[in-house]
Chains A and B, each alone.
Chain A
């Protein structure tokens, strides 16, 4: 099987799996315990934290380990809202965020916060002018994702950070789940306050992620218990998961994959571009590893099935919104025209892919288009 759905999840790497097993065997003690075994586990936990901090350019920063990207995003939005509600009541995010930001924002609206959702153009880009206009004195959080998980649009987070710092005192959170390891990210250089990462999108393990912040910034807690993770995230910390996340982040950033993916993506774009009844979403300004295309009056599911039959795994726009049968909020937000809305599929590359996978995709794509054309000419007759 050729796996081209790496934005949904990735295969854990051998190194990560073997480290996870070894750490589970050797450092199973509770990192909060006073005894030697606990102390060793704590040392490994702190070393993991240190490694993660330095990878994302926040050598003095804060790392809170979570159960994944969703929890880290929830913690950022709900936690900072609680922390800074005395400062203001206004939150800005975008209309194409992951549901873990979107629905957390909706919840905050119910709790009385005022939330603005920035609109995007047909390629999924926000407008810096709109961001500037929407910023207010009482804006406490701005959360903008780096790379969109459905169509791959890259937002200009560095420029956003400048504008936010200039016009408000808001905390700038950035969901970097899809970009970490593929695009360079430095909390210090980009002027970010907090980012979310997830292990299973970068060949790590499911059930593990982190919220990483610049020095001195921590959210309020949103769960209650023994006060682990500086009192922010109670629950016995999984030291093996923390080490595995640090290892996955190191491995993914050590290898420069952006250029390779970029070439593959461009090759596919050139191949698909002039095909009748197929359009490419966010052709420009998009992450090198994500390509979304839409078929005219064909359900995405039909295309997915065809590829599946021919040994290639791709997905409809996003695993998180693909089962509802409705067009997702991202597809709605970019204003895709009606006949294409249901027909979006996403191809996303990962470490295990090779050029031959891309070539094979092209073949299967052509065969699918042939079938469609034949079907349509039959209709005509």
Chain B
């Protein structure tokens, strides 16, 4: 089946009053980014929908594969175009209906006749097309309310446009239309999902990760790069900042008592994240914390950790159950990456009994004996930055 164009509908966006043009422009740019490696395509935007034209059949199929992951799209439909003659319309109607499953499905024809000079009126057309389709697909039955297949025929001056399939979009808002935040990306299951949820609401993200070589391996870092790259597939590039954390971590372990170790570690991480945030012009910090999941995610712990900054810390998973998070991670394709078995820096110097109710005053007291500042500045300067998606040479291609 050769489709000529894609009709893209945006739900929530068309409600956004005077800002709508801004949102639509963002969406158009994000779609262009998502399809940038295709040969040639063109997007035309109208008030409440867009049309995407691609040249080749392959490009069209690739676009159909990628659009469901671009935020800000409510749904989209492939459209077949034919000359506005009754013979062509009947034949194309069969092609369009036949391109999907028909066994045991219900069906209905809807007509829009913008070209009033077309020789048949709407009712006649509906009957002609409907009966022609039914003759050729006897397994279909007609249903007026909520049919499985709604064959929509739009007769315009420049031709007839037929569509039947509706692909659901990702919903949400175009990434970048709601500013930028810095995601604390650990390599676990939760943080990429937190990033995804904020992207869904239009937030562009940079990510920050703490590594402790030689205790953490290259593979652990690779895993985080892969996660950040996966996030970049949702319509926007992602910058990943990797902080060399070994020395700071050893300093903390040497100077802070076991009970407060974890809380101080998190407080230091939060401070580093906050300074990187300023450098990258991000507004908030995103974290994958879910209330009560581990010792550092009790309300007491969150309070003690959060005390280092007044920057908004966005925690979209705060009330999620672990299983809900896993479901979402599986759906967006980060779960398989997250469960790779490598140690991350948080699991290396874990005290036997971290306090679930740390007292902010005590933590501050212990920290007051240590000067973290020089190292803090140093690691931020020494951070490595990865731009994702990667555009590097494929070294394996030489052997295949």
A residues in contact (CB < 8 Å) with B: 19, 22-23, 34-36, 39, 43-44, 47-48, 51, 243, 246-247, 250
Contacts and interface: CB of A to CB of B under 8 A. Distances in A.
A22 B396 contact: no
A30 B400 CA distance: 19
6 contacts: A36-B217, A36-B219, A51-B400, A243-B399, A246-B400, A250-B400
Contacts of B219: 34-36, 39
Contact of B400 (A35, A39, A47): A47
Interface string B361-398: 00000000000000000000000000000000000101
Contacts of B396: 43-44, 47
A234 B400 CA distance: 24
Contact of B341 (A34, A47, A250): A34
B218 interface: yes
Nearest to A20: B399
Contacts of A250: 400
Contacts of A35: 219
Contacts of A36: 217-219
A186 B171 CA distance: 36
Interface string B192-223: 00000000000000000000000001110010
Contact of B399 (A23, A34, A39): A23
Nearest to A36: B218
Given A19-B398, A44-B399, A246-B400, 18 more contacts: A19-B399, A19-B400, A22-B398, A22-B399, A23-B399, A34-B341, A35-B219, A39-B222, A43-B396, A44-B396, A47-B400, A48-B400, A51-B400, A243-B399, A243-B400, A247-B399, A247-B400, A250-B400
Contacts of A43: 396
Nearest to A38: B219
Secondary structure type dominating chain A contacts: helix
Contacts of A22: 398-399
A63 B149 CA distance: 36
Contacts of B400: 19, 47-48, 51, 243, 246-247, 250
Secondary structure type dominating chain B contacts: helix
For the complex of A and B, the 10 pairs showing the least CB-CB separation, nearest first, are A19-B399, A47-B396, A243-B399, A246-B400, A44-B396, A23-B399, A51-B400, A247-B400, A36-B218, A243-B400
Nearest to A47: B396
Contacts of B398: 19, 22
Contacts of B218: 36
B1 to A, nearest CB: 15
A19 B396 CA distance: 11
B135 to A, nearest CB: 23
A243 B341 CA distance: 26
Nearest to B397: A47
Which of B218, B219, B222, B400 is most buried by chain A, counting CB atoms within 10 A of its CB?
A: B400
A19 B398 CA distance: 8
A247 B396 CA distance: 11
A122 B398 CA distance: 47
A34 B220 CA distance: 11
A111 to B, nearest CB: 38
A195 to B, nearest CB: 20
Contacts of B399: 19, 22-23, 44, 243, 247
Nearest to A249: B400
A51 B398 CA distance: 13
B224 to A, nearest CB: 14
Which of B217, B222, B396 is most buried by chain A, counting CB atoms within 10 A of its CB?
A: B396
A297 B219 CA distance: 69
A187 B219 CA distance: 35
Nearest to A45: B396
B320 to A, nearest CB: 30
A269 to B, nearest CB: 37
B343 to A, nearest CB: 11
A344 to B, nearest CB: 39
Nearest to A34: B341
Contacts of A51: 400
Contacts of A243: 399-400
A22 B398 CA distance: 10
B105 to A, nearest CB: 21
A23 B222 CA distance: 22
B134 to A, nearest CB: 24
A354 B52 CA distance: 49
Contacts of A47: 396, 400
Which of B219, B222, B341 is most buried by chain A, counting CB atoms within 10 A of its CB?
A: B219
B150 to A, nearest CB: 28
Nearest to B394: A47
A39 B396 CA distance: 13
Nearest to B341: A34
Nearest to A246: B400
Which of B218, B222, B399 is most buried by chain A, counting CB atoms within 10 A of its CB?
A: B399
